[in-house]
Structure 1
Amino acid sequence: MEEEDYGYGSSEDEYNRVYDDDYDDGFEEESDEDPQFSGSNSSSEGYHLRISLYVIRKESLLAAQKDDMQRVMDLLSIKEHHARTLLIHHRWDVDKVISVFVERGVERLYLEAGVSVLDNTDLSSSDSLSQITCGVCFEEFPANEMTKMDCGHCFCNECWTEHFIVKINEGKSRQITCMAHKCHSICDEGQIRDLVSAKDPVLAAKFERFLLESYIEDNKRVQWCPSVPHCGNAIRVENDGYCEVECACGKQFCFSCSSEAHSPCSCLMWQLWEKKCQDESETVNWFTTNTKLCPKCSKPVNKDGGCNHVRCVCGQSFCWLCGAATGLDHNWDSIANHECGRYKDGHEQEVEQARKALWRYTHYYNRNKAHLHSLKAEEKLKEKLLQKITTLESRELETKDYSWVTNGFYRLTRSRRVLSYSYPFAYFMFGEELFKNEMTSEQRTIKQNLFEDQQQQLEMNIERLSGFLAEPFAQYPEDKVMEIRMKIITLSGVTDNLCAKLYDCIDKDLLGPLERATHIIARYRSKGVEKATELAHNLSAKTGILSLYVSPSSNIF
């Protein structure tokens, strides 16, 4: 069989690499549990170690909280509400609590979090006939109508209740401090719940829900799934905050910013790209042919009247004929202090620069959308490919394994998605908006050429893979089927490697030498977006890994 050059090694070498038993190719493995096109969830992860992801539903949320609180309670021998206060203060990071305890001591740990563990006399043991003066309303009450907090301050139940109600309604229910002057101790949540529920059970339930949800909303390792309508799930990541995850509901998103999965774009790049698209791209093609650019903000402006004096939304006035900025005074014949009938050098350079900026954006926008459109079209191949597999199986050919078809489809869609998001990345990487002062013009050109060479090589092989998968190979003779099989296997491995190389180029050659604190990207994972798992509830004493189980029919918030 004649070999083709795919720009990345020989097809025979690639075949051996892909099917080497000691190599994790990143393809899906056929299994009885999921014979469709979902990604594999094996323990190895091709180019990078697998991260630990867990789905947290309503039923498992309280259990997840209690596991973390129990670790702190066992370490410090404190009550549950004290452990919760420490964890909320440290954003539910048990390791951080332990670190502060070891480095600064228990007193400093308690002081910073507002925890008081004083051994106070219980008011219930006091004489019920004795009268105690409340320090807020200055009325006298029997002991059973007063409440003392862990910090030692004692006030009447009515004053405490009103204080708690105000704080809950203000949205400060997770960390309600004592009423005493300059006391920053956090009140006992159990006492808050009891006092508020006696007067307003609905508000007490709201407080209880806020405490429960604090495990997600105050926890840097946990994020709500951003699905719409909301599925009610949250995802917990054990060891990598910069990753892309898939919820049990099927929603894929960036764990860091909760936007759609967007690597190789950083979160900041993707946010800027979305804003730019919302502001400028819906009618970008019409703008390029029917508008002129504002000399101040470079936004396209349309003239809807006969007067050649126009005004941009930013407030800048300019001449429609030459595009130069002007004042506001004008009549039907002329613009005050402005004339453009005479030719002048230099102004056309400013106009050309603004036009180039628009065309540059249009270039990256159109290619990003074109590949996303191709991705949607290719996803419709799924049923057709399953039909082709059924036809091949009915023919009883010598080969019985057709996983190369499903693997090829998965690799195509995975690589196409990477390619589509590489264009917004390139727009910001090689523009002047983010890295203007961090690269010289020469450095920018070298980096851009390096990136675009790899980007175009990936694009070329993706198109080839798409073409072979679209062929009616189920009707081909057996020798032709085997030829298509070899090409799809080869191209699947090639595109996987090229994706990994593209990410490696971004990490080491492009972003590596720069100030990149805000431009960390999710690592490339050969098997695609990591799926969160649901396991039986069990906290391993050795690993400390949280596993959760909920029934599929569980209700959500």
Structure 2
Amino acid sequence: MSDMSDDYDDDYGQGSDDGFGYESYEGSDYGDDGNDGFDDVKPESLKRKPYEIAYEVLSVSDIQKQQDELIEQVSSILGLSNENAMTLLLYFKWNNDRLLEHYTEDPEGVLKKAGVSISDDDKFVYEIKPVEGFFCDICCEDREGLMTFALECDHRFCAECYRQYATQKIVDEGESRNITCAGDCTVVMNDSAIKTLVEPQVYGRYQTLLHRTFVLDNEHLIWCPAPNCEYAVKCDDVSAKDLTSVVPTVTCKCGHRFCFGCGLPDHQPSICALVKKWIKKCEDDSETANWISAHTKECPKCRATIEKNGGCNHMTCRKCKYEFCWICIGNWAEHGTSWYNCSRYDEKSGVDARDSQAKSRASLERYLHYYNRYANHEQSAKLDQDLYVRTEKKMTQLQSTSGMSWIEVQYLAQASAALQECRQTLKWTYAFAFYLERNNDTHIFEDNQQDLELAVEHLSLLFGKPIHELAELKVQVMDRTAYCNKRRENLLSDTAKGLAEGRWKYQVQVK
């Protein structure tokens, strides 16, 4: 390990050049000449990498703005009120193209199916008012001055009963798309009706549910899965059919990094289909069955499962009393006096069983090879994160002992972030490699994987040094951080290009 570390220092730890053709972080004069590099050519660092996608993070106000624009568009084209245009959009799951196509063919039919009243809708005013001689069919109240409410269909009930009905639909049932009249009617309560009837906090809940429908109904939008995050991510260039050729990783404004395709945390370079198979394989009882297949055998006669609990190869099934050889699964009577070492290894009676046993054992060993490395990087990432939390508490001491400013000691934060990202990538490279067919492309992938793993271990070793030593190792830590990032970029870029070109071949069906 010491020789390897020394070689690494010779290549990447001395001087300001990090070995990749650009200067290290210290002493950089980028932008000092007044030319920011944006005049003619976009800087290389700002160009999109092969494994990156274009996306946009939307706030709740952004979502509301897009909803309003869509409503205004449909309203102006069809000559309907904004409320009825919105009801139509909710019915067609915010798909304005589909709405306009169907509306053109059968306007009245579409309005009726969507629950929009076609009788003088633009002049109707929703109000809570008393009606002389009114009797509520829900609560059977008929007292004087009882406040009432009705939609365009004029199915009138007392305001309190109607309010409870709408509140239950919104709060308890989480409904916003199809809250129909409280009577036996298909007319839908639109935004104005809801706002007039329910309490402000219930109306706020209704608005939140509308935002959810807008995002959930659009294949190019997804809510950030981080807890308590209210942002959504928009990506117009990726749809479900593209998920075998791209790993659409996005980063929300809250800092959470996840896959736009499946919503799981960042799993580059493995595509979504393989990730789902891998997770299921790791959690499924199929691996328990695989272990049983590799460590136990079936009685050749009654197929009962038997585990060897002694040294003797002479087995007797407790269920059917059949006697056989543990080594070759053949009839024990064929072994004669050679009970101590199976002399009948090539006997036909045991060939099939031996082949099945060998395949099961080889399959289990292969799975454990990839799973152990996958789990190791997952655990190492957690330990690296805990290490940084402990190191951060000592950064103030490093400032006082070394004379560095708080900004100057941020190289530790950069190193920690690099370790986290690289560990996450390495973890999923093993899930990806598990399903790959063996060919030349696989060998190149594994070489890139090995290079990244070695670079990460070097950086992790430095990062774990005592805090008082890290001041002297600043340049090395920064250079190795840059090297890790570069190796990760190379691996992800090559894999992404292979996905786009269809170069990768898998042992399982992914479509």
Aligned counterpart, 2:244: none
- What are the residue-to-residue correspondences of 1:238-387 with 2, within 5 Å? 238-239=235-236, 243-245=248-250, 251-280=256-285, 292-293=292-293, 317-320=303-306, 331-334=319-322, 340-341=331-332, 342=334, 343=347, 344=349, 345-383=351-389, 385-386=391-392, 387=394
Alignment match, 1:97:
96
Among residues 48, 56, 59, which one is paired with 1:52 in the alignment?
Answer: 56
Which residue does the alignment assign to 2:429?
422
Distance across 2 between alignment mates of 1:233 and 1:374: 30
Instruction: Give the aligned residue type for 1:14.
Output: F
Whole-Å Cα distance in 1 between the matches of residues 422 and 414 of structure 2? 12
Question: Deviation digits for residues 346-392 of structure 1, max 9, x if unmatched?
Answer: 33112211222222211111110001111111112324554358526
Q: Which amino acid aligns with 1:215?
A: F
Query: Which residue number in structure 1 is paired with residue 230 of structure 2?
Result: 233
**Structure having greater relative contact order (Cα 8 Å, sep ≥ 6):** 1
TM-score scaled by structure 2? 0.62
- Supply the distance in 2 between the matched residues of 1:202 and 1:310 (Cα, whole angstroms): 70
Change over 3 Å in CA distance of 1:54–1:190 after alignment to 2: closer
Gaps of 5+ in 1: 24-42, 130-144, 294-299, 323-328, 431-443, 520-557
1:174 pairs with 2:199: no
Distance across 1 between alignment mates of 2:300 and 2:507: 42
C-alpha distance in 2, partners of 1:14/1:511?
27
Alignment correspondent of 1:468 = 462
User: What do residues 311-354 of structure 1 show as CA deviations (whole Å, max 9, x unaligned)?
Assistant: 9xxxx9445279xxxxxx98451399x97435432331122112
Q: Tell me how far 1:408 sits from its aligned partner.
A: 2.6
Task: Flag structure 2 segments of 5+ consecutive residues without an equivalent.
Answer: 1-5, 32-44, 126-130, 133-147, 239-246, 309-316, 335-346
Residue 232 of structure 2 aligns to a residue whose secondary structure is strand
Give the whole-Å Cα distance in 2 for the aligned partners of 1:218 and 1:424.
31
SS in 2 for 1:380: helix
Residue matched to 1:407: 414
User: For 1:205-216, what aligned pairs fall within 5 Å after superposition?
Assistant: 210-211=209-210, 213-216=212-215
Whether contact under 8 Å (1:231, 1:249) holds in the other structure is no
Question: CA offsets, 1:200-225, max 9 Å, x none?
Answer: 99999987765454234434344444
**1:85 CA drift (Å):** 2.9
| Equivalent-residue separation in structure 1 for 2:507 and 2:29 (angstroms) | 40
Q: Deviations over 1:76-121 (max 9, x none)?
A: 54322233234334543xxx525874xx485249666845584548
Cα contact 1:88–1:218 (8 A) shared by 2: no
Q: Retained in 2: the 8 A contact 1:221–1:238? A: yes
Say what the alpha-carbon RMSD is for the aligned residues. 5.5
The one-letter code of the counterpart of 1:81 is: E
How many residues are matched? 423
**Alpha-carbon distance change, 80 to 512 in structure 1, aligned in 2, over 3 angstroms:** farther
Deviations 1:500-525 (A, max 9, x none): 33433542455668999967xxxxxx
Report the CA distance shift for 1:120/1:157 in structure 2 as closer, same or farther (over 3 A): same
Label 1:17 to 1:73 Cα distance change in 2 as closer, same or farther (>3 A). farther
- What is the TM-score normalised by the length of structure 1? 0.58
Q: Larger helix proportion, structure 1 or 2?
A: 2
Q: Which digits, 9 at most, give the CA deviation of each residue in 1:42-71, with x for residues without a partner?
A: x94652465321343xx8876664454345
CA–CA distance in structure 2, aligned partners of residues 177 and 310 of structure 1: 66
Assess, with a 3 A threshold, how the Cα gap between structure 1 residues 418 and 208 changes in structure 2: closer, same or farther: closer
Quote the residue 1:69 is aligned against: 71
Q: Write the distance in 1 (CA, Å) between the matches of 2:461 and 2:409.
A: 18
Deviations 1:163-218 (A, max 9, x none): x88x959887613679999x9x8635258749986xx9999998776545423443
Matched-pair contact (CA < 8 Å) for 1:55–1:247: no
Large movers: runs of 4+ above 6 Å: 20-23, 121-124, 145-148, 169-172, 177-181, 194-197, 200-209, 300-303, 512-519
Work out the CA distance in 1 between the residues paired with 2:363 and 2:425. 25
Look up the match of 1:491: 483
* C-alpha distance in 2 between matches for 1:119 and 1:515: 61
Instruction: Provide the C-alpha distance between the structure 2 equivalents of 1:117 and 1:212, rounded to a whole number of angstroms.
Output: 24
Give the secondary-structure state (helix, strand or coil) at the position aligned to 2:58. Answer: strand
- 1:21–1:496 CA distance, 2 compared to 1 (3 A): farther
Q: Percent identity, please.
A: 20
- Whether the aligned pair in 2 keeps the contact of 1:222 and 1:236 (CA below 8 Å) is yes
Map 1:453-464 → 2, pairs under 5 A: 453-464=447-458
- Look up the SS of the partner of 1:292 in the other structure: helix
Residues 1:86 and 1:487: Cα distance change in structure 2 (over 3 Å): same
* Residues 377, 161 of structure 1: alpha-carbon distance in 2 compared, 3 angstrom cutoff: closer
Distance 1:83 1:53, change over 3 A: same
Cα separation, partners in 2 of 1:64 and 1:394, compared to 1, 3 Å: farther
Once the 2 structures are TM-superposed, how far is the Cα of residue 462 of structure 1 from its aligned partner? 1.4
Partner residue, 1:538: none
Tell me the SS of whatever aligns to 1:352.
Answer: helix
Change (3 A) 1:467 1:475: closer
Mapped contact 1:451–1:505 kept (Cα < 8 A):
no
Name the residue aligned to 1:325: none
CA distance in 1, matches of 2:370, 2:452: 16
- The separation in 2 between residues aligned to 1:178 and 1:66, in whole angstroms, is 24
Corresponding residue to 1:501 among 484, 490, 493: 493
Question: Using the alignment, how far apart are the partners of 2:173 and 2:470 within structure 1?
Answer: 70
Following TM superposition, by how much is the alpha carbon of 1:492 offset from its aligned partner in structure 2, in angstroms? 3.7
**Alignment check: 8 A CA contact 1:388 1:474 kept:** no
352-361 or 72-81: bigger deviation = 72-81
Per the alignment, in what secondary structure is the counterpart of residue 447 of structure 2? helix
SS at match of 1:497: helix
Quick check: 185-194 or 462-471, which moved more? Answer: 185-194
Query: Of residues 82, 107, 112 in structure 1, which corresponds to 2:84?
Result: 82
Deviation at 1:156, TM superposition (A): 4.0
Corresponding residue for 2:138?
none
Aligned match of 2:104 = 107
The 1:194/1:462 distance shift into structure 2, 3 A limit, reads closer
Report the CA distance shift for 1:516/1:361 in structure 2 as closer, same or farther (over 3 A): closer
8 Å contact from structure 2 (residues 448, 487) kept in 1: no
User: Shift of residue 406 of structure 1?
Assistant: 3.0
Deviation at 1:259, TM superposition (A): 2.5
